Amino acid sequence: MPKVTQQYMDARREQILDAARRCFLRDGFHSASMQDLFTEAGLSAGAVYRHFTSKDEMILAIAEENMREVLDITLTVATNRQGRSMGAVMAELLDVIRVKSAEGNLAGLAVLVWGEAMRNRSVAHKLDQLMGRMRADLVIMVRDHQDHGDLPATVTAEAIASAMLSVLPGYILQLALLDPAVVAEVPDAVRALWPEPAGER
């Protein structure tokens, strides 16, 4: 019998998660049954249970991947901030989230994950950890802008980072629930709220 490679196992796991995402986006985390997941994946129960022992385990895996994707986007944009206004950085972050949501419904999954965090302590714990890391990345970015005089130092970097972080859920929620055209100009609005310093325009 041929040896099963790690690459094969990883591909099969992703096949199952892709099917689970489709089911969960269509029916919700708790209306979708395991049989629905088997059918969507085109796999036997045994093949699925070899990778995930329960639906809750799948939910946690999808929740963590979704949260990490948002975190990775934030980190990438924040670390490429040099010479740009806070508005430009935030607008790029929103633009990337919009593109990712169009490709794989990142926004819809994010809303499902937030709801799940209200009842599932494991998801809530992961969300708390990753939100903390996002806030820490934004604090570093804000302090850099404060040091260059682009943002007021009369408000703490932590408070400004929290305010910025508050923009993301509202934008993601609108992407999930509304026509994307409704929020198409939000990145431009963010640029206007945090413009380039006068000397750099």
Q: How confident is the model at residue 158 (pLDDT cuts 50, 70, 90)?
A: very high
State the Cα–Cα distance between residues 51 and 15, nearest whole angstrom.
Answer: 11
Residue with tokens 């895996």: 61
* Residue 198, pLDDT score: 53
State the Cα–Cα distance between residues 126 and 148, nearest whole angstrom.
Answer: 34
* Residue 188, pLDDT score: 92
CB 112 within 8 A of CB 28: yes
Q: For all residues of the chain together, what is the average pLDDT? A: 87
* Residue 201, pLDDT score: 45
152-161: average pLDDT: 92
Q: How far from the centroid of its chain's Cα atoms is residue 93's Cα?
A: 11
Domains and CATH numbers, the chain: 1-53 (1.10.10.60), 55-200 (1.10.357.10)
pLDDT digits (tens, 9 = 90+) for 71-121: 888 778 777 766 778 888 888 889 988 988 888 888 999 999 999 999 999
- pLDDT > 70: what percent of the chain? 94
State the Cα–Cα distance between residues 181 and 71, nearest whole angstrom.
Answer: 25
CB 151 within 8 A of CB 145: yes
